[in-house]
Structure 1
C-alpha cells in the first residue's frame, strides 16, 4: 500500500541541526521546499551528538520545533534512529563500542559506522535514545515512518564478536565434528577440537577455509539483523507504531539484504549511478536492476531513499547531469515500483565531507538554479501521476532472475575457475537486460523465494544450491515453466562442499546435460558460438563468448548452438530439454549481450509471453505498472537525441512531450486498458 495513500513521497534528507544558529535558514528552506512540491523530509540520521551532547542529557526541543514547523507547512517526516554515527563521548567512555579490524587492530573514533553491533553497551545506549525519541514522537502526526539507522555495513572482529560467532556456530552445527565435516577442515590439517578454537577469518590467521569465510559472512548478516531488530524493539516498546524502513546500498556484497528485509515494513535504497561515464542506457538498466531487486525482496513497493539531484562529491569525477536526467532518474524509480523519489540532500552542508555533494538547495540558496527548476518540475510530474491514480498501481512481473548473495559469496571466494573476474553481476545483468529490452517486467529474486507465478526464470551462475532450489526449479519446469540455467551452476552445497555424482546437482535429468569440465579463458581469449544443425530455433548469427566455457555431455538435451573454436569445437554451447510441461535451457558459456537479446526474444515470441510492447527502440527503457484494468507505461530516453517511438492507437498520454519521438533525456508516460 502506498505510504502516503494520497500520493508519492517526495523529498529527502534534511539536516537542520547544522543550522541551529540560523533560524532564518529553516524558514527560507520551507518556502523553497513547498515551491518544489516537496512533501516529506528525513530527519535525524546523523544527529546523535546534538540530540544527546552528553551522556543522559537530551536536547530534543530543536527537533520538536523543526517537526512542528514543517508539519504546519504540510511537510511530513521520516524520523531516523541515530545509530549510524555515535557521539564522541560514547566512544571515549566506552571504547568497547569501537570496531576491531580483521587484523585485530581496534579502530580509533571517527567516520561513520565505526561501532560494534555485539557490544552490550552500544546496544543499551542505542536502545535508550531510540526509546526517548519514540516516547517523544510516537503520536506526532507529522512522523509517518521510522528510518532505522543508515546504510548498515561492515563488520567487527572484537572479542565480543568472536564469542558471539562461536555461540552462533554451536547453535547451527551442534557438534564440532559436524562443523569440521561441513568446512572440510582435514584439508591442510585445520581440524578444530572445540568451538573455543574458532576465530573469524583474518589476513594474519585463517583465510583459506571457505566454509569459515562463508559462515562468517552469514553471521555478520545475522548479527546486523539482530541489532536492527533490537533498534525496532526499542521503538515498539515505547509505543511507536509507525512503519519502519531501512536503507540499502547499490550492489553491496557485505550483507545478505534479504535477511534484513524480512524484519522491516519497507525497504529502500540509495542510488548513485555514475551517469555519463559509459552508455547511459546501460547505466539505466543497471539502476533498474537494483530497483527491481528492492521491489522483489518483499514483493511490495519500496522507497528510493537517496539520490543526488546534481552530482555526488565522493565519486572519482563529479559529473554534472544532463538536463532532464534528474527527472528521468526519479521517475525510473516510480516506474519500477517505488513509492518515493527522494534526494540526499535538501540543503548542502557548509562544511566537512559532503559539502560539495549535490543538493536541492545549494550554497547560493536561491530558486533560480537549473537543479532547483528540475527538482520542481519533477515534483509537478509526481503530482500529475497522483491525479491519475498511479500510486495505487504496482509492477507485475512474468519473468525473474535468480540472484543470490550467499551463492555469490561462496563463488567469489572459491579459488577457480577464474580468480580475477567471474563477472557474476554482469551475467545476471545480461539476462535482466534481455528480458527488459524484450518488454518483460522482471523480478530479481533469491533462492529462498517462491517461484510460483513466474512464466520464465533465468538462473545465471547459480554456483551454490541451497534452500531446496533444485526441487523448486524441477517443479517449476515440470509445471510448464521456462528455465534458463547457465555454466557454473549446481556445483556446491550450502557449506561450499562440492557435490558428488555430477552437476548441475540433481538437475541433470531436468536439463538433459551433465557438466564435464570448464575452461577459464584469459582476458585476451575468446571462443564463438555458432548454430547447431537441425535445431528448432533460428539463431543465425555467430556470437562471441569469453571468460568461462562449460563442456557438457548430452543426456537427452538437444544442442541449439555449438562451440566453433579450440579443442572443444563442436561441443554443445546451448541446449534445450523438454521436462514435464516445460522447457529447460542450458547456456554453456559467457556469451555477449547481443546473444541474450536474440535468444530471449525467440523464446518470448514462441511462448507468447505477455510483453509491454513488441519492439523497444535502442536507448529507451520501458517499464509498466498496472491497477485493475489500467496499465501505465513509462518510456524513458537515456540518450542526447530524440528517438522515434510509435504509440499504440488507444494510448492516452499522461505525461511528457510527444511528436512521434521521445525527446532526449525525457520520460513519456501513457495509459492503456489491460486486455482481459
Structure 2
C-alpha cells in the first residue's frame, strides 16, 4: 500500500486552482465528489508563485487549497514545484539556464529548462523542497511527495562540462584508463589532461542526435546526464526525507523515454509512477509492455499511474478523442498490470497556453453534463468498489524480458550495421509474441535475479556488462531457458568490441560463433527454413533487417537461411547447457515465427496462457492476492467478443454475479473476475 491514510485505489490527478479565480474552487470540489476524485496533485509548476523573489516564500494559497480539499475528503499528492524555475532566477543567475545540443545558451522559457549541474538550481530546489516538507510534514492530507515533473533533457554548458570531467575522473581514476576505455588512439584523440575533454554535441563529436564519431564518449555523456538529473532528484528526495521520513517520494517517469536509465532511478523512488500517453494507433501490446516495464523497475512492486488523459492529448500531430469506453479500458489495462492508482492530467482544463486543448475531467463547458465526465464518474465508483480486492495484488510471471537503457544507448549510437535497427521495436516483437498468447511477462533489468524465471529473453543484447554472462550461464546450468538474438554479445560496457568472435562472452552458453553480419535493405528479405517441425513451426518464414552468419560449436541447428550466398547456414539454434538450454535467433523474424517459437518454448517449460482460445482483440491479465486471482478481460476491439473463462466458479467484481463457461465482452468492454488460484 502506498500510504495507508487512503487504503484504496487512488483516483484523481493534476489540479491547478492557482490558474483560476476563487469563485470556481467550490464548484471544482462539488464536481470532484461527483466523480469520486479523492487525490489531487498540487503545486507541480508553482515555484514562481511560491517564491516571488530570492528571499520570499509564500504558501498561503497552497495552505488554503490543501485544507479546502481535505475538508471535503480529497487528499494531496504534493509536488515540489521544481519542474520549471522562476523568471527572476534566470535573470539573476544565468548559470541556471541550459545550453542546447547546438551549443546555444537558452533564455528563460518553456520547462525542463534548468541545467542539472547549475549550483543555483541545486541550491534553490533543495531550499524549497525543505520548506515544503517542514511546513506540511504533519498535515493529514498529504499522501506522497511528487518531486519536480517528467525529468528529461540534456545540457551542454560549462558547468556540465566541468561536472562531466569530474564524473569521468571518478569513473576511470586515471586519464590512461579513460583513453583505453574510449579507444582514443583512433583518429588521434588521445587526451593528456582532463580539461582537454569537451562535451559531445554538434560542436564536437555528434550530429543528428545519435550519430557520433566516438561511441564511448557519447555513451558516457548519456550516463553522466542521467546521473546528473538523478542527483537533482536525490537532493530533493533527501531534503524531504529529513523532515518526513515516513512519507513516500516519487517522480513521474515516461515509459520508454530514451534519455534516463530508469532502472538506476528506481533505486531512489519509494514507488514508481509514470505518465501514460499512447496514440490512437499505438499497439495495445506496446502499452501493456510499458506498464510491465514500470512494474519491473522495482521487481514487481505495484506502481502509480500518475497521468493519463481523460479524452484527448494536445501535442501529437493528430489528437484523436478517446472513443466511448476507451478511457475506462486503458485505465483498467494499467490496473491489470500493477497500477494501484488511476490519475489524470488534468482535473480542470486550462484556458490558456499550450495545454488548453489537453483533455480534462472538467471540460471548458464547466459542468458535469459531458460524456467525459460521466465516464470518469462511473470509473471512480467502480475503483472504490474494487479496491479491497485489487489493492496490493501482485503479477506473477515465469517469463522475463531484459531491457537495458545503456544497451539501448549503445545500439542507437552504433555506426552500423543498419539504421533500421530499433532496439525497442525488437524487444516489443518478442513481448508481443507472449502477449498474443496471454502469457504473463515481466520486463526486467540486467541486475534482476534471473532465478525467479523459467524463461529469460534478451533481444539484441549488444552490450554485455560485467558479470552478466556469468549470470546467464548459471541460470541456464540450473535449468533455465535463455534466448537472445542477432547483434548480441558484441561489446563491453565501454562499447569496445569483445574480440575472439561474436557473441563474445555469450559464445560459450549459446554454442555458436558469428563470422559476419549482413545488413538488409528495407525491401530485402531472407527465409527461415525449418529443418524439421518444431511444435507448430514448419516450412519457412521471412526474416530481415540483420542476418548473422553463424557457425555451431555444439548447438543444434533448428532452422537455416533459405536465400543468398549464406543459404543453408544456421539461423536458429539451441544449445544444451547444464540442465537448461540457450536459444539464438540470428535474424529478425516475422511475427508468425516468433509466435510459434515462443509457444514451443513456453509449452516445454509448462508455462500456460492465463486463458486459452481468447479472441485476438482481447487482452487478459492477472494479479494475485491472498490466494485469489483477479482476471482482467479487456476488449480492445470495435466489436463484441466471446471469451471462454473455464468452468471454475468466478465472481464478477463489478456486479457480483457468478461467471463460468464463456462471457461476452462488448466493444471496449472490461470484465474483472475473481476466483481461487488454480493449482
SS of 1:645's partner is strand
Report matched runs for 1:183-582 at 5 Å.
183-207=182-206, 208-239=213-244, 241-275=246-280, 277=281, 283-299=283-299, 300-387=301-388, 389-418=389-418, 420-533=419-532, 537-582=535-580
Residues in 2 aligned to 1:407 and 1:480: alpha-carbon distance in whole angstroms: 26
Report matched runs for 1:651-662 at 5 Å.
651-655=650-654, 660-662=663-665
Task: Check whether the contact 2:528–2:543 (CA below 8 A) recurs between aligned residues.
Answer: yes
Residues in 2 aligned to 1:3 and 1:296: alpha-carbon distance in whole angstroms: 20
Other-structure match for 2:602: 604
Task: Check whether the contact 2:255–2:293 (CA below 8 A) recurs between aligned residues.
Answer: no
TM-score between both structures, scaled by the size of structure 1 = 0.96
Q: Which moved more, 1:40-49 or 1:448-457?
A: 448-457
Report matched runs for 1:171-182 at 5 Å.
171-182=170-181
Root-mean-square deviation over aligned CA pairs:
1.5
TM-score between both structures, scaled by the size of structure 2 = 0.96
Residues in 2 aligned to 1:205 and 1:665: alpha-carbon distance in whole angstroms: 51
Task: Check whether the contact 1:574–1:586 (CA below 8 A) recurs between aligned residues.
Answer: yes
Task: Check whether the contact 1:98–1:107 (CA below 8 A) recurs between aligned residues.
Answer: yes
Displacement, 1:606?
2.5
Q: Among residues 619, 631, 634, which one is paired with 1:633 in the alignment?
A: 631
Q: Among residues 582, 585, 588, which one is paired with 1:584 in the alignment?
A: 582
Residues in 2 aligned to 1:82 and 1:392: alpha-carbon distance in whole angstroms: 29
SS of 2:24's partner is helix
Q: Which moved more, 1:164-173 or 1:509-518?
A: 509-518
Residues in 2 aligned to 1:430 and 1:335: alpha-carbon distance in whole angstroms: 21
* Structure 1 residues 82-126: Cα deviation after superposition (integer angstroms, max 9, x where no partner): 110111111111111000123322101100011111111111111
SS of 2:339's partner is coil
Residues in 1 aligned to 2:276 and 2:395: alpha-carbon distance in whole angstroms: 20
SS of 2:505's partner is coil
Task: Check whether the contact 2:611–2:645 (CA below 8 A) recurs between aligned residues.
Answer: no
Displacement, 1:575?
1.0
Report matched runs for 1:125-204 at 5 Å.
125-204=124-203
* Structure 1 residues 281-303: Cα deviation after superposition (integer angstroms, max 9, x where no partner): xx211111111111111121111
Structure 1 residues 130 and 204, CA, compared in 2 at 3 Å: closer, same or farther? same
Residues in 1 aligned to 2:203 and 2:645: alpha-carbon distance in whole angstroms: 62
Residues in 2 aligned to 1:590 and 1:329: alpha-carbon distance in whole angstroms: 30
Displacement, 1:242?
1.1
Residues in 1 aligned to 2:601 and 2:156: alpha-carbon distance in whole angstroms: 49
Report matched runs for 1:59-138 at 5 Å.
59-138=58-137
Residues in 1 aligned to 2:466 and 2:384: alpha-carbon distance in whole angstroms: 43
Displacement, 1:614?
2.6
Task: Check whether the contact 2:407–2:462 (CA below 8 A) recurs between aligned residues.
Answer: yes
SS of 2:391's partner is helix
Q: Which moved more, 1:111-120 or 1:659-668?
A: 659-668
SS of 2:433's partner is helix
Task: Check whether the contact 2:255–2:291 (CA below 8 A) recurs between aligned residues.
Answer: no
Task: Check whether the contact 2:510–2:575 (CA below 8 A) recurs between aligned residues.
Answer: yes
Aligned length: 666
Displacement, 1:536?
5.2
Q: Among residues 651, 670, 673, which one is paired with 2:673 in the alignment?
A: 670
Q: Which moved more, 1:504-513 or 1:635-644?
A: 504-513
Task: Check whether the contact 2:302–2:392 (CA below 8 A) recurs between aligned residues.
Answer: no
Displacement, 1:55?
2.3
Other-structure match for 2:210: none
Other-structure match for 2:209: none
SS of 2:645's partner is coil
Residues in 2 aligned to 1:353 and 1:9: alpha-carbon distance in whole angstroms: 28
Residues in 2 aligned to 1:79 and 1:563: alpha-carbon distance in whole angstroms: 57
Displacement, 1:660?
3.1
Displacement, 1:570?
1.4
Structure 1: runs of 5+ lacking an equivalent: none
Structure 2: runs of 5+ lacking an equivalent: 207-212
Displacement, 1:471?
0.6
Displacement, 1:663?
1.0
Task: Check whether the contact 1:563–1:571 (CA below 8 A) recurs between aligned residues.
Answer: yes
Task: Check whether the contact 1:537–1:560 (CA below 8 A) recurs between aligned residues.
Answer: no
Task: Check whether the contact 2:454–2:480 (CA below 8 A) recurs between aligned residues.
Answer: yes
Residues in 1 aligned to 2:242 and 2:482: alpha-carbon distance in whole angstroms: 46
Task: Check whether the contact 2:498–2:505 (CA below 8 A) recurs between aligned residues.
Answer: no
SS of 1:140's partner is coil
* Structure 1 residues 499-531: Cα deviation after superposition (integer angstroms, max 9, x where no partner): 011222222221111111111100111112121
Displacement, 1:51?
1.0
SS of 2:375's partner is helix
Question: 1:9 aligned to 2:10?
Answer: yes
* Structure 1 residues 19-62: Cα deviation after superposition (integer angstroms, max 9, x where no partner): 1xx22211111111111111101000001111112222222111
Other-structure match for 1:621: 619
Task: Check whether the contact 2:575–2:582 (CA below 8 A) recurs between aligned residues.
Answer: yes
* Structure 1 residues 442-496: Cα deviation after superposition (integer angstroms, max 9, x where no partner): 1111212221211111110000001411011111111111111111000000000
